[in-house]
Structure 1
Amino acid sequence: MTELTQSQTWNELVAHTEALPHMRALFESDPQRFDKMSTTACDLFLDYSKNRASEETLSLLFKLAEECKLESKIKAMFDGDVINTTEKRAVLHTALRATPGQKILLDGVDIVQEVQQAQAQMASFVSSITSGDWKGYTGKPITDIVSIGIGGSFLGPKIVSQALRPYWNKALNCHFVGNVDGTSITEKLKPLDAETTLFIMSSKSFGTQETLTNTLSAKDWFIQQGGTQSDIAQHFVAVTSNVAKATEFGIDANNIFPMWDWVGGRYSLWSAIGLPIALMIGMDNFRELLNGAHQMDQHFANTPLSENMPVIMGLFSLLYGNFHNAQSHVVLTYDHYLRGLPAYFQQLDMESNGKSVTLDGTQVDFSTGPVIWGGEGTNGQHAYHQLLHQGTALIPADFIMPLKSHNPLGEHHKQLASNCFGQTQALMQGRSYEESLTELAGSTLSENDKRTIAKHKVMQGNKPSNTILMDKLTPATLGSLIALYEHRTFVQGAIWDINSFDQWGVELGKNLGNDVLERLSATADATELDSSSNGLINMFRQQTI
C-alpha cells in the first residue's frame, strides 16, 4: 500500500464520504451555502456549492493537501526545481508569462530575459506580417497561415485561436494541420494560394514524424504551385531547437523561434508555439492572454489553500475519483467559441496524470487521472446529458460560460444561460418518484401506467458540478481559465505524488510506430512481431504493392 492511502486523513475521508447526505439536504440545511462555497479570482467566478461536500469534507481535503506538502510542491515548481524527475527537468511554463521585472534563474541563467527576447522576436515578425511589409515570393502580402505541429504544438494554438475568433485580424486566415493522414493537409491546402501562404512548422527536434512529413508535403505543394527552394525563406518559419535542420530545410535563421526543454508540449502555447495565435489576434492581445495566465499563477502561488481556486477544483476532482469511483469528468462549455476547450483540457489532464507509479516507482493503489471529455452546450443536452442525469456512473461536470456574448442576438444568450444553470440544478436535485407521480397526476394515463412511467422519470440527483463564469470571453479571461486548469491538474498529481510532466506512454507509441513503419516498407522482418501485428502489416503490404 502507498503512504497516501494508509494515512489517517485518507481513511477519514473514506468514512466521511459514505455518510454524507444528499446535496438537496445540504442546501436545505444551509441557506448561505452558495455564498460560502463560491469564490472569485482573476476575473473568473467559481460556484462549487453543487458538490458532494460539507464544511467537514473541505476541511479534510485541505488537511490531506497539507499533509502531502502541496504548498511546498507549488513553490518548488515556481522556483524551477527539477520536479520532472524522470527527465531531470524543471517545469517552468509559468516563466513564459512572467512579467519583465521578474527574475527566474535556471542553471544561473535568467530565463525571463530569454523569454522576453523571444517575445520581442515574435512581435517584430507579427508586425511585419500584419502590416503587409512581409511579402511572398511574387510580392503579394500573406493572407493565410498554415500551422503544422502535433500534440500541444497543434492543439493549444488551434483551440486558443478558435476561442478568440472575435479578435482575429480580418486580413488573415489560419489553418491547423496535425494528423499525419494525408487527407488532412490535402484538404487544408486545396483552397490556398502558394503566393500568399505562410507555413509555421513547430517541432522541437525538427524531426517529429507527423510534423516533418506534413511539412515536407507542404514544401512539395509550394514548389508544385510555382515556388522555388530559394523562395522557401519567405513562406516557411519554424519553432524549433534544431536550428541546423531548419536552415538546411531552407528557413532563414532570423525566422527560427526558440523552444526550451523546461516547457512541455501541452504547456507550450504561451511560447513561440503560440505564434499562430499572436498572428491572428495581434501581439497586444497575445500579451493579454499571457497576463491573464500570469494573474492566475500569482493567485495559485500566493493564496491560502482554502481560498485557492485551482486547489479547490483539483481537490474535488480527486475526491470523486478516489472516494466516489468516478472514472470520467465532463467539461461543458456554454459558448460556441469555447467548443474546443474540452479536447484541450483532455490532453492537459490525461497526458499529465495518466500514470500508475509514484515518483519513487511504487505502484499506486488508487485511481489517478480520469477520462476528460465533453462538448458545447446546448448540443450535449440532446445527447449525452441523458447519461449524466440517469446513467449509473457518477460523472462530475464543469460548466463554463461568459455572462456576456460577443454576438448578442435576441434571446439567444438568455436561453443559453437558462439551460446552463438549469442543467446544474437538475443534476444536483434530480427528481423523486413522488415528484414524478405528481407531474403525471393530471394526465389521462391509468393509475398503473402512472406508477410505471413515474419510475422511468426518476433521477437520483446528487450529481456534482462546478460552474465557472466570466464577464466576457477575452484574451485575459481565457488565459486565466487555461492556467486554472493547468494548476488544477498539478494539484492532483502533487497529492498523488506522481510525475505530471513526463509522457512515457506517448513515447512508446512513437517508438513502436517508427518500428512498424520500417516493416511496412519491407525493410525489416514483420515475422519478428506478434501474429496480429504481422498479419496487419502483411494486409497493408498486399494492398500497396
Structure 2
Amino acid sequence: MNVTTFSRSPRVYTPANALDAHAEQLQAQTLGDLLNGDPQASQQRAEELRFTLDAHHVDLHVDFSKQRVNEHTLALLLDWVRSCNLVEKRQAFFDGAKVNPSEQRAALHMAARWPEGETPPGGMQDAVNFCLAQRQKLADLVERLHAREWFGATGQSITDVVHIGVGGSDLGPKLISEALGSRPSQTHVAVHYVSTMDGAQLLPLMERLDPATTLVVLASKSFTTADTRFNVHTTLTWLSEALEIDVPTLCRHQLIGVSSRPDKMTEFGIPEAHQLVFEEWIGGRFSIWSPIGVSVAMQLGMATFDTLLAGAHAVDRHFLETPLEANIPVLMAAIGAWNTQFLHIPTHAILPYDGRLSSVPAYLQQLEMESNGKSVGLDKRAVTHATCPIIWGDVGPNGQHAFYQLLHQGSHTVSADFIAVAGREEMAEGELGEALHAQEQLTLANCLAQSQLFALGDDAIPAVARGAMAQGYRGNQPNSVILMKRLDGFNIGALLALYEHKVFVQSVLWNVNPFDQPGVELGKQLATQLYQQMTSDAENGADACDAVTDPSTQALLERIGAWRQ
C-alpha cells in the first residue's frame, strides 16, 4: 500500500515567534531560580537589570530584576522592538508626523514641556512656539491670582478655585495636586476638583465655599463633554443665585476656560483674556503639561509647575537619545508586553507606597487602557493576541489589608509595579520627627518585602521561621520596583513621562493607535438618547420605554420612574 506523507513546513522565524517559543521554555524556570540560582550569575543579572535616571534634577531608579526575564529574553525583546522599526517611528513621533491616523493628527504633548531656548526636533518648532505662548499667558493669570489682583463679580479677591473636568482634564491635575500639595503650607490657593457626573462633589463645595471669592476653571478639550457641561451649569447657577448676579457677568469675572476650541469658549461668554488653548495634537490623557495644568500652577505656583515640565522633558531626552538597551521606557514597554502577550498575564497592579500617590493607579488606568485597549490594528485587521492588560491598584499598605491575600495565595497571576519614595523632607523635629521618620522607614520596608514575596513566595520565608509560619505563598509574580529619591515636581513629572513613552512603545509593538479612543463614544451617545427620553417622558407623562430595545434596560427605566414619582 502506498502511503503519502506530508512534511510540515518549518515555522517562519520572527522575533514574536521566537518569544513564543522562549516563553514555553522559561515556564520551567521560576523567579526563585533567576534570583537565587548561581550566586555569581544572579548578582550579575541583578546588576544588569537596574537602571538609574539622574539628569536635570531627576532621581529615578528602576529595578527589573524581579521580572521573569533573562539575558536571552532581553535580547529577543530588543530584536522585536527593532523589527517593529521603533527607532524610526520614535523620530517621526517627535518630528510631528501624523501618528494618529484615524484623526489625521500628530501627537505632540512633548511640545508643551519643551523648554524655551532648547532647539526641538525639526517638525516640532511651531508647536513649541505655540505652547510657550500659552504657558506665558498661563503664568500671567497665575501671577495675577497670587498677587490677590483677581477680583470676582462683587469686587472681592479670589480665594478658592473649583476645577471642573473629567478624564484627562481631571486625573492629571488632581494627581499632581495631591502628590505635591499634600500640606496647606505648600499651597498658594485652595483648589477643589469636580468630575463626577452626578453633582455629588459639588454639593459640599456649595455649602462651604464663598461664592463671591470662588473662581471656576472649565477644562474640556472638546468643550462639549456632557459631564463637564452639566457641572459647570450647576456651578454657575449656584453662583448666580447666591450672589444675585447674572451668568454672563459671572463668566466675565469668575470663569477660566481651557480647551482646544476657543470659538466655543467665546460663544459661552468667556473673555479671550481668560481663555487658555491647547491644540488638537495634545490628547486629553497627555494634557497635564498643557494649560490643563493651570489649577496646579494656581495651587502650587509656577516654579513647581515648571519643575513638573522639566522632569518630563528630561525623560523625553532620555527616550529620544538613549540606546535601546538602556532606555528605561523602552524596557518598561518591552517587559510589560512580554508579560501580557507571551506570559499571558491579564492584569497589572500599580502599587504606590506613599499616600501622596494614591491617584497614580487611576491616572495610569486611563493613560494605558484608553490608549492601548484596542483589538483592531493600524492595518484595520483584528489583533490576534492580547494587548494592554487591565490596570488596577491602590496604595500598597492599604492593599496589604485587602487584596494581597489573593495575590499571594490565590490562583491568579498578576504583574506589578511597586512605586516608592526613598525619603522626604523633615517636617518636624524631636520626637515627632523621629516618629514620622520611623513610619517612613516602615513603609519602605513593607514595599521591598512585598516585592520580594511576590517574586519568591515561600522561598522568601527565612529558614528559621519555616514550620512556624503559614506557607502556600505562590510567588513567581513578576514585578518592577520604581524608586524616587524624593517626591517633587521633577520626579513626578519624570515618572508620568516614563509611562507615557512606555505606552507609545507598546503601541508600536502591538501596531495599534494609542492616540484615539473610539470605544468611549457609543456609550455616550446611548446615554444622551436615554437622557433625552427620560426628560421628555417626565415632562409629557409618557411611557419612558418607547425607544428602549432590550427588556433589562426597559425594566430598570420603569423602576427608576416609579421611584422618582
- TM-score, normalization by structure 2: 0.89
Partner AA of 1:200 in structure 2: V
Deviates more, 1:459-468 or 1:498-507: 459-468
Q: CA offsets per residue over residues 110-146 of structure 1, 9 Å max, x none?
A: 1111101100000000001011111223332211110
Q: CA offsets per residue over residues 387-411 of structure 1, 9 Å max, x none?
A: 2222222111111111112456141
Residue in structure 2 matched with residue 532 of structure 1 by the alignment: 552
Residue in structure 2 matched with residue 449 of structure 1 by the alignment: none
Q: CA offsets per residue over residues 520-540 of structure 1, 9 Å max, x none?
A: 123697345223233333333
The one of 413, 418, 430 equivalent to 2:457 is: 430
Partner AA of 2:31 in structure 1: M
Deviates more, 1:410-419 or 1:236-245: 236-245
Is 1:339 aligned to 2:358, yes or no? yes
Partner AA of 1:289 in structure 2: L
Q: CA offsets per residue over residues 458-506 of structure 1, 9 Å max, x none?
A: 2232211111111101101110000000111111111000111110111
CA contact (8 A) 1:47 1:467 kept: yes
The one of 178, 199, 213 equivalent to 1:182 is: 199
2:52 counterpart SS class:
strand
The one of 233, 254, 258 equivalent to 1:216 is: 233
Partner AA of 2:87 in structure 1: E
- Structure 1 75/432 Cα, relative in aligned 2: closer, same or farther at 3 Å? same
2:493 counterpart SS class:
helix
| Cα offset, 1:507, TM superposition | 1.2
Is 1:10 aligned to 2:27, yes or no? no
- Structure 1 485/7 Cα, relative in aligned 2: closer, same or farther at 3 Å? farther
CA contact (8 A) 1:47 1:466 kept: yes
User: What is the alpha-carbon distance in structure 2 between the residues aligned to residue 341 and residue 510 of structure 1?
Assistant: 25
CA contact (8 A) 2:52 2:60 kept: yes
- Structure 1 124/394 Cα, relative in aligned 2: closer, same or farther at 3 Å? same
Residue in structure 1 matched with residue 298 of structure 2 by the alignment: 279
User: What is the alpha-carbon distance in structure 1 between the residues aligned to residue 212 and residue 236 of structure 2?
Assistant: 13
Residue in structure 2 matched with residue 37 of structure 1 by the alignment: 49
User: What is the alpha-carbon distance in structure 1 between the residues aligned to residue 479 and residue 441 of structure 2?
Assistant: 21
| Cα offset, 1:105, TM superposition | 6.3
The one of 464, 470, 473 equivalent to 2:484 is: 470
Residue in structure 2 matched with residue 25 of structure 1 by the alignment: 33
| Cα offset, 1:245, TM superposition | 3.5
User: What is the alpha-carbon distance in structure 2 between the residues aligned to residue 393 and residue 328 of structure 1?
Assistant: 9
User: What is the alpha-carbon distance in structure 2 between the residues aligned to residue 14 and residue 231 of structure 1?
Assistant: 61
5+ long unaligned stretches in structure 2: 1-10, 428-432, 538-543
Residue in structure 2 matched with residue 446 of structure 1 by the alignment: none
Query: May I ask how many residue pairs the two structures share in their alignment?
Result: 527
Deviates more, 1:530-539 or 1:334-343: 530-539
| Cα offset, 1:543, TM superposition | 3.5
Q: CA offsets per residue over residues 162-211 of structure 1, 9 Å max, x none?
A: 11115865442111111110222112322100111110001233221111
- Structure 1 508/7 Cα, relative in aligned 2: closer, same or farther at 3 Å? farther
Residue in structure 2 matched with residue 349 of structure 1 by the alignment: 368
CA contact (8 A) 1:334 1:416 kept: yes
User: What is the alpha-carbon distance in structure 1 between the residues aligned to residue 514 and residue 545 of structure 2?
Assistant: 37
Residue in structure 1 matched with residue 448 of structure 2 by the alignment: 421
The one of 332, 339, 348 equivalent to 1:320 is: 339
CA contact (8 A) 1:164 1:474 kept: yes
User: What is the alpha-carbon distance in structure 1 between the residues aligned to residue 479 and residue 213 of structure 2?
Assistant: 47
Residue in structure 2 matched with residue 68 of structure 1 by the alignment: 84
Partner AA of 2:19 in structure 1: L
- Structure 1 80/440 Cα, relative in aligned 2: closer, same or farther at 3 Å? closer
Deviates more, 1:234-243 or 1:361-370: 234-243
- Structure 1 517/26 Cα, relative in aligned 2: closer, same or farther at 3 Å? same
The one of 113, 122, 142 equivalent to 1:97 is: 113
Residue in structure 2 matched with residue 521 of structure 1 by the alignment: 535
User: What is the alpha-carbon distance in structure 2 between the residues aligned to residue 119 and residue 22 of structure 1?
Assistant: 50
Is 1:389 aligned to 2:389, yes or no? no
The one of 241, 263, 266 equivalent to 2:260 is: 241
Q: CA offsets per residue over residues 338-386 of structure 1, 9 Å max, x none?
A: 1110110111001001100110111111001111111112121122112
Q: CA offsets per residue over residues 420-469 of structure 1, 9 Å max, x none?
A: 11111111221159x7997465x6xxxxxxxxxx8x61223221111111
Deviates more, 1:31-40 or 1:325-334: 31-40
Partner AA of 1:273 in structure 2: I
- Structure 1 438/502 Cα, relative in aligned 2: closer, same or farther at 3 Å? same
| Cα offset, 1:7, TM superposition | 5.2
Counterpart mapping for 1:17-416 below 5 A = 17-20=23-26, 21-27=29-35, 28-29=37-38, 30=41, 31-41=43-53, 42-101=58-117, 102-103=119-120, 110-166=126-182, 169-229=186-246, 230-406=249-425, 407=427, 409-416=436-443
User: What is the alpha-carbon distance in structure 2 between the residues aligned to residue 285 and residue 124 of structure 1?
Assistant: 15
- Alpha-carbon RMSD: 2.2
1:89 counterpart SS class:
coil
5+ long unaligned stretches in structure 1: 444-453
CA contact (8 A) 2:188 2:298 kept: no
CA contact (8 A) 2:329 2:502 kept: yes
